[in-house]
Structure 1
Amino acid sequence: MTKQLLIYERAVPVTRQRHGSWSIKAGASYDFAREVNSVPLMVAEFANSASEYAIVFGGAAGEVIPVALLGIRDGENLYVNEGGTWTGKYVPAFLRRYPFVFSSDSATDPDAVFTLCVDEDFSGCNDDGRGERLFDTEGERTQYLQNVLGFLQAYQVQFQRTKQFVANLESLGLLEPMQAQFTLRTGQRSTLSGFSVVNRERLKALPADKLAALMQADELELIYQHLGSLANLTPIAERIGVPAPAAAEPETAPPAPGDFETSGSA
């Protein structure tokens, strides 16, 4: 299985035979995301993310997707403090679904069959009843596992919508590579590259019918949320070298299906 997956170490299919007596003890630690400086972001999350993260577009040609920048240097997440607590107000759904994930033999086929997997290296996985059971004593899925499936199914729907949004931006020629330079508190210079943003001038030059189509699809609003979020690049860089504040402890358990516009609490 590909490591899509940034944060997954040993994701295997969830089965009654292998995990029939397993439980998941979710906690408030985001240590698993400590070395991730960006994560995929679904379009349904733009509104809640734009106030504190820089939303940009990353990925190889044909696989471009919006991402929330969490740091400006490799292997550094500036939103996880020393205790493993998430210090932002909103936790991206990509992280909230951990330790679960869907896998598929085809990342591009919308009709592909998806298999629910769990990262067995997650510290909350156990066989002694701590947390939420995956299967009941009859071998049936628990309500917890049903909620997990519902959340991941909703995530997959949002993923397809997000891919269509990016495809529209690319077809209109609106994305362009960007490089950002920062002067850190230490006086050192740092450069961030390898991502794209919407070109404002190209956007304003679009024919009226194209702009109207973007507006009707609610994609013009998404574009301006993305552009407005770029003001967060400097505040993100300013987190370097500053002790991360304590924050309310969001749960890592997946929230209810479709809960992409709320906080990270389960």
Structure 2
Amino acid sequence: MKAIMKAFKKAVALDSTVHRDLKVKMPENYSYMADVEVVPLTYSEILSATMYYPVMFGTQDREVFPFAVTGINGKNVYLKKDGTWKVDVVPNVCKHYPFGVFKEGDEYTIIFDEVYSSDYGERIFDDEGSDTEFFSKIKQGLTELARDFHDAEECSKELLELGLLKQFDLDVDTKLGKMQFRNMLMANVENLSKILPEKLYNINSKGYLLILYAHYLSLRNFKLFDIFAEL
């Protein structure tokens, strides 16, 4: 993703020379997500995310991507006071923090939040600048994350090109406050009847059609914000 999740306070691109002696202390819970209101989604999690979150599509620098709304007015409504999650589905990008990926052109760069550097943590690189076993496992997960983000962008791009996403503005009023969404994209279900049968078959075989409908119905999940407000 080009957009860096709000949880990153001091994001830097990892470099084996600059960060040769870097040590990392991994977070114990999700408390770093306390003020995060929007989270980018990977392809493999879109359907599961629509069960609990309002899921929409956004655009940035001509790229289209799905995202989940997790909060309002600087408060993540899905996070408990003890830093655990209120629902079963935790967005993938959260599971890799304080590491992440940032896209520039067609390349992905591994980023790190320097807030979690520590003299008592795990080393990222050894004395020769090679990946430690600790970081090798993290890097493998981030590689999969980047591929998953790429697939999400490809899905979103195709839906837009087929006219199955349309621009919209949305005003949401919840017990936790009001939200305004401008120039977002949502399913254009009316255009499905205009799609040629072979194209419809193609997007259905890819699973895109199910994603389209699930996202469309997920907007009703804003009602969960009212439920969480009373907990």
Match of residue 96 from structure 1: 95
Alignment partner, residue 180 of structure 2: 192
Determine the C-alpha separation between the residues in 2 that align with 1:225 and 1:69.
Answer: 15
Q: CA deviation at 1:28?
A: 3.2
Unaligned runs of at least 5 residues, structure 2: none
- Paired AA for residue 162 in structure 2: L
Match in the other structure for 2:57: 57
TM-score norm. by structure 1 comes to 0.75
Match of 1:150 in 2: 140
Q: Structure 2 length normalisation: TM-score?
A: 0.85
Provide, for residues 125-160 of structure 1, a one-character-per-residue CA deviation record: whole Å limited to 9, x for no partner: 2122x4x33234665322221111111111111122
Residues 31 and 221 of structure 1: CA distance in aligned 2, closer, same or farther (over 3 Å): same
Structure 1 segment 1-266 matched on structure 2, within 5 A? 4-60=4-60, 62-71=62-71, 73-103=72-102, 106=104, 109-110=105-106, 112=107, 114-122=108-116, 125-128=117-120, 130=121, 132-136=122-126, 139-176=129-166, 177-184=168-175, 190-194=178-182, 195-240=184-229, 242-243=230-231
Q: Deviations over 1:153-191 (max 9, x none)?
A: 111111221111111111111222142433528xxx734
Aligned twin of 1:248: none
> What does residue 259 of structure 1 align with?
none
Question: Is the 1:103–1:115 Cα contact (8 Å) retained in structure 2?
Answer: yes
Distance 2:94 2:172 in 1: 27
CA RMSD of aligned residues (A): 2.5
Give how far 1:3 is off. Answer: 6.1
Between 1 and 2, higher relative CO (CA 8 Å, sep ≥ 6) is seen in 1
Unaligned runs of 5+ in 1: 244-266
Look up the SS of the partner of 2:76 in the other structure. coil
SS at match of 1:121: helix
- For 2:4 and 2:228, the matched residues in 1 are separated by 27
Q: Which has the higher helix share?
A: 2
Distance of aligned partners of 1:201 and 1:8 in 2 relative to their CA distance in 1, 3 Å threshold: same
Question: Which is richer in strand?
Answer: 2
